[in-house]
Structure formats: C-alpha cells, structure tokens
A and B are shown apart, each in its own frame.
Chain A
C-alpha cells in the first residue's frame, strides 16, 4: 500500500516535471532546424512561473464554467496520465480505468474546454470550440480501433497489463505488421489530439487558423498557466502511451529501486526521441486546411482497421 502511494506520487511528479521540458525540447529542435538558436529547453518552466504570478483577467460575460475549466482540465489530463505506465509497468492506479477510460477522461477535459471557449462570447473562442469538436470527432474512431488492435495482441485493455506483457515479450505477435499499423494510426491520432502540425499549429499567431489556441484565447494568468501545463501533459501522455505500449523495453517490471532508475532513464530517452521526431515532422510539413484533416484521419482509421484485419488473418 505504502509503495503504491509512493509510486503514484512519483509518477505525478515525473509527469508534471517532464511535460514542460518536452514542449521546450520540441521548440528548441524546431528552432535549430530553422537555423535559429531558439530559447533554452527550460523556457516553458519560466513561462509557467511567470504566468502563475500574473494577474488574470476574466471576462464579465463568463460564468463559473470559465474559471473552473482550467482546474478540471488539469485534473483530467493528469488523471489520464496516472493510468498509463510511465517508468514502472505496474501502475498502482491502472485498475481504476483501462484505455477506454483514459480516452474518455481526456474527452471530459475537451468537453469543458469547448464550453469555456464559448463562454466569453467572442467569435474566436466559438470558432476554436467548433473546430475542436470536429477534429475530436474524427480522431475517436481511429483511436478506438488502433487501441483495439493493440489490446488484441496483449489480450487486455488494461494498460499495465499490455505494457507488462509486451515488456516481458509474452504473447507478442511474431509478425509485427498489425502492431506497426496500429502504431502509425495512433501516432496520427496523437498529433491530431494534441493539436500539432499538420492538424493545428500551436505557435500560430493568426486567429483565423487557430483551433486549440483560439479556444483558450481569453485565458490569462494562472488560468492560462494551468491550461498550458495541461496541454503539455496531454502531449506527454500520448507520447508515453506510444513509447511504452509499442516499445516498453527498459521499463521497470520489478519492484527494485535500480529497476526504477533504469526505467526512468529509458523513459526520458524514449519520450525525448519521440519529441524530436515530432519536431522534425512539424518542420517538414505545412498545416493542413481544416477540411483536409478528414483525409489524414481517414488514413489513420484505415490503418487501424488494416492492423485488425492483419492480426486475424495472420493468426488464422
């Protein structure tokens, strides 16, 4: 029991501490690829610290939804993060919800963020909310199917079980093609869900092309800090999911302190690697028009479906 509590707390601290770093790392790599020096990878920490100290301005039009949403969004994203194995394959809270619960926890945050976007009454917020709604709708089927393709291999939808079994190479498919297709599908889903290029541009300054940024346009001060931190966390949760479900090697499968140390180190390497990959991809592609996003997510859906078909056909 005590060990479980310590593990949960450690996981909370790791997620909270690493997420701004990932955001900073992506920005840094992108800057280098554009031949700029860029701010240090620790800039997001400074941004957060400054935002927490600034006076927030809240519109007189808004209701309690607007002020409560950042806290709820932060809580749902972090709760989702606690369901995913991070540096140890046996997450104590994994029993509280399987991968479907994780998807729906994130959806709860999105729901309130959409409401908050509408609350201030400005057209930009509504525009962001409306677009977020369609992007979320299109990602969901692909996400569920790719999750199912993964769950089939491990014979479980519980993340701890999936990661643990894969790490110990139990029941892993001899032919990796279903896994790879599900991986590709989930990667596209992750990019769409976390608002990265080519679906959305987190660095945009043009309101008319914004999705996520338009929704949170009215936030400032501590509210903005929480929302920003939560989006960093969401990105990290997806990267963790991809890293540990598809390549869990190095993760602590036993309860020894040394194993935890190795697990944490490999985890940091894996998510940093994925962050660099995202930065490279973002530098290579331009943002898609909103109505072309459908095609990209359609590809993700088909990939996930093919992964499923391959799984059954290969296994007979």
Chain B
C-alpha cells in the first residue's frame, strides 16, 4: 500500500513538472498531463478501496527542517473514503479533459493548464492524507491557490477575473479561521500533529471548545459553501474550464466535509453539546433550501449547477448534523446512520455533480454558450451527452433507483428516527428539517426538469444549438464512466453501506454493519428492519418488468399500430422556437410563490405605435432577483473596508523618509513594551 501511495503521489508530481519541463506540441502535453492524472486516479481509487478494507491505518512521515512541521501522512478509513471519492472523479475528469482542452489549443498554454491541474489534484489528495496541522494548512493553501489559478484560466475575460478575486478573498478568510482553530488545538496539545489534537477535552476549557467549533464551522464552511458563506461559489465554479468545475464542485468542497468530520468526530471524539449538532443541522437545512431556490432562477447552466452544490452540501450536513445530535444523546447507532447518510451523499454528489458539470462542458463545447435559453433540441443532436446528463439529472433529483435517491433516503431515515430523542424541541425540529429536505428534493426535481427539458428537448432555440454536434469519444467516455457510477452506487447500497460503516464505526463507537441488511442482503434496513426498508435492485427490476407489462398490454389490446409522425399543432401557424416555453417562463410560478425569498423586481417597457395605443411596437422585459446575502451581508462589509482603507491612505504618502520614521517609531514602541 505504501508503494502504491508513493506511485500515486509521484504520478501527480510528474504530471505537475513534466509538461512544464519538456517542450512539446500541445497535443503531446495534453496527453502527458491528463494521462498521468488518469493513472494516478486509477491508483488512488485502488488505494482508497484497499484503505477501506485494511484493518489498520497506514502511516508514514518525513521530518522537515522547520520546527513543528513534519510531512506526516495517515491513511485511515475516513481518508481512504475521501481519497476514493477524489480519485474516482479525477479519473473521469482526466479522461474527459483529453478531448475538452483541444478547444483551448492556441488560446491557453496547455502545458501550464495540465501542470496546474495535476498540482491541484496532488494538493487535494494530500489534504485528506495529512496528519499534521501545519502540513495540512500548507496543502490546503496550495489547493486553494492551484484552484484559483485554474479558475482564472481564461483571464482575458473580466468576469472571470472578478470571480477569481472573489474566490481568492473568500478562501483566504476561510483559511484564517482554520488557522485559528488549529492554534487552539495547538495550545492545548503542544504539537501540530493530529495525534496531539485528538481528545482535547481534558486540556481545553468549555469556552475554547465552543470557539474551536465555531471557527472550524466558519473556516471549512466557507470552502464547503454553506449559506451564507456560499456567495463565491456560483461565481468561481462556472468560470473555470468545465473539467475543473467538475472537480471543484464535485470534490474540492468535499475536503471541507472531510475536515469537519475530522475535527468534530475525531479531534473532539464525538463529545459535544446538542446545540452543535443542531447548528450544523440548521445550517444544512437552510443551505439545502436556499441553494436549490437560487439554482432554480439561474439560467446559466454552470451557475445553476454551482448553486446545486450549495444545496447538496446542505443535504450532507443534514445527515452529519443529525448524527451529531444522536451522538450527544448517546444513541450511537443512529449517530452512525446519520454519518453514513452524510458520507454516502458526499460520494454520490461528487459523482453526479461531476457528471453534470462534464455534461455542461460538452454543451459549452458544442454550442459555445452557457445560456440555457439558447439551447434546445440537443438530445437529437447529442444523444450520448443527453443520455448521460439525464442520468445525472435523475440522480441529483433523488429519484429511484439512482444513487442520489439512496443517500437522500438514508438522510430521511436518520431524521425520522428522531422520535427516540429525549428532547421535545429536537423531536419536532428534525421532522421539520425532513419537510425542508422534501421541499428541497422536489424543487431540485423541478430545477432539473427545467435544465434538461429546456436544454435538450423541443426545437433548438438558436443557430448554435441547431449546428451542435456530438462531442469527441474521450469526453463521452469520461461522462459515461460517471453515469455508470451513478447507477452502480444506486443499485448496490447493500455493498456500500457496510463499507461506510467501517469509516464511521471508530467515530460513533458503534458498528451497525450487522443491522443494515435484511432479507439475505437484498434490502437495506438501517438499524431497525421494522422501521424501514429499501431495495433499489428490486425496485429497478420491478420498473423494468412493469414497463414490459405496459408494452405487453399495448400489444394485447391494440396491436402495435404504426405511429404517424406529424408536426406539433401550433394553432394554425408553423411552430417556431419562439413559441416554446423558456426557462424563465418555466420557473415563473415558483418565483411568484416564493417571492418573499427572491424579492424579484420586474421592469416592463412598452413602446407603442404612434397611430394607436393599442398596438405595441416593442416590448422590453427585465427581471432581477435580489441577491439578499450580497446586499445585506457582504456589501456593508466591503463598503466598511473600503472606507477604512481610504482613511488609512493618509499614512501611505510614498515618502521613504516617512516609512523610515514609521520603522523607527515601531522599534521604540516595541522596546518600551519589552522593557
């Protein structure tokens, strides 16, 4: 295993250095960079599975010359699970990228792009492996910087630069909070090694523990994109090239989930008051609901997907929050179930979100636009992309028998088991969270009915869409791999859940492996067979059998009468794309019903004919959604900063003498303080 780990890291490192060192044509560099990344992806997946099955964690460390820093690596079950998630998605993204970056030839240095891509993957892998706080912060920061550089790949566009800057600022604010968290642990344990961070309850007073909880929540939450720290996400993720977006939205934000579990369950050892879990749960519920609501109003396909990441992080946190609440009350088996639900959704979201982003990338590749209103009729022109995107859409909308459904079902179960809790308040809050999750699920359904229906069905709405063609085989292969994963993960929860139990068991102090399966392993029945059971393979078989029954009934009652193909009735005139429902029109009722949240402003200008007020010559319709968080939370902060900066400008006169005086005064003050 150690050798495999070394090979994976070396492969990424080679991918980082070789394209830059060897001058070659873009095509060769493309193959070199993404080939190495794909190899590392395969290795990482194997290593992840091996790590999940291994009885003991793998640890190695390399000492450094710096004090407090050792390059310590530890591959336990939790790390293995996240390594598997990262590697699986990066494998598909790397295969996809071989075809996708051909479009960037000549515009962007492929050597640099490929090199940064490998660097990003390397740092992400190390984040989940690091076993030393100092080392963790270094690779965390590297991950942020690499991803920033990848976001600004197309830096000639001003909105990309804006997105990059926004991301850079937010991620550094987050890192600052993480540093503070680790400093608190450092103060208690006296060392930066994660081993010293574990179980600080003896050393840390109550107040400091609470502070560490909040700091970690804000710091990692900023990376995960929880509401209200999500505002950067819909800017940054879509701005990057699509295979990078897939990685950022699919797996990079998951490193924050990894870190949260590491801190709360590993470092704190699952010892916390109920309101910690409640806070995580509440943030999860609001992130899920607001994420999907803003996604619905988005007509830029990639921004829509980015908002859905906020939603899904919310769903993951619902599972983890429920787990934390159960942990507080000592209901360890339910706690394990909640954590398993959250982790399962982490893996599933990584797979289907990456698939959808790759699908969006294929649409961008084929039509050169991200605006959904300019798509249409693409299923006939791009059948493979369409089929893969449909599988992704069904999964993210949590419909059976796909993977999204299974994990959302598990989250529902853990919320429903709340009736075992002793507190009446929590007994009522958890079902309410379940109701919010139900609303989220069905809004996601509406959103992806919109995204798929408007993009892929009916008539093409623009010349771009009319001339679209299917994407090259490597891109199709990358998507097909993830589509397959969506189906496999949906049909095989009976294999996945016991594996996840191995991850969770040490943290929850309970293994529910023997209590999750019923009926010889055909059905999933978490903790209590009597309470609930689910068997996606049986449901899938049932759907196939009943579809065949429908075919049989048709044949029996009517025979297969030949279908007549004819144009759609357009009330007497020929159907044009302008008559079709638009994405904006589709979500209009939702916008109206939830207008409290959206605060929409509508502007309608009409220019009439001079002869008569009854005939309009031109109409102009505009509508805006009020970005509440940006307006009331971020803009005041930014304005405050700018004001302070303006005032501080006085001391920055640009005169060398003045600066020397500053240094002198500082020195005097420091000396006085020291005395």
- A: residues with CB less than 8 A from B are 12, 48-49, 51-65, 67, 70-72, 74-76, 78-79, 82, 93, 95-98, 100-101, 104-105, 107-108, 110-111, 114-115, 117-123, 125-127, 129-131, 133-134, 136-138, 140-145, 148, 151-152, 155-158, 161, 218, 221-222, 225-226, 290-291, 294, 301, 305, 308-309, 312
Contact = CB atoms under 8 A, between A and B. Distances in A.
B258 to A, nearest CB: 28
Given A63-B456, A118-B454, A158 B530 contact: yes
Nearest to A297: B593
Nearest to B443: A137
B539 interface: yes
Contacts of B431: 145, 148, 308
B518 A130 contact: no
A221 B565 CA distance: 13
A148 B586 contact: no
A107 B445 contact: yes
A75 B547 contact: yes
A81 B539 CA distance: 12
B397 A71 contact: no
Contacts of A82: 542
Given A61-B568, A108-B394, A121-B458, A53 B590 contact: no
A49 to B, nearest CB: 6
Q: State the main secondary structure of chain B at its contact with A.
A: helix
A79 B535 CA distance: 13
A140 B535 contact: no
A213 B202 CA distance: 66
Nearest to B412: A100
Contacts of B542: 75, 79, 82, 93, 96
A72 B534 contact: no
Contact of B547 (A74, A123, A294, A309): A74
B288 to A, nearest CB: 13
A56 B458 contact: no
A136 B565 contact: no
Contacts of B397: 107, 111
Contacts of A107: 397, 399, 441-442, 445
A140 to B, nearest CB: 4
A58 B530 contact: no
Nearest to B538: A96
B449 interface: yes
A59 B566 contact: yes
Contacts of A12: 549
A308 B565 CA distance: 53
Nearest to A130: B586
A56 B539 contact: no
A308 B547 contact: no
A129 B453 contact: yes
Contact of B380 (A63, A114, A152, A218): A63
B568 A144 contact: no
Contacts of B453: 114-115, 117-119, 129
Contacts of B449: 111, 114-115, 118, 129, 133
20 contacts: A48-B557, A49-B557, A52-B554, A61-B568, A79-B543, A95-B519, A107-B442, A114-B453, A118-B581, A121-B575, A122-B570, A123-B579, A127-B581, A140-B441, A141-B438, A144-B412, A157-B531, A222-B554, A301-B435, A308-B431
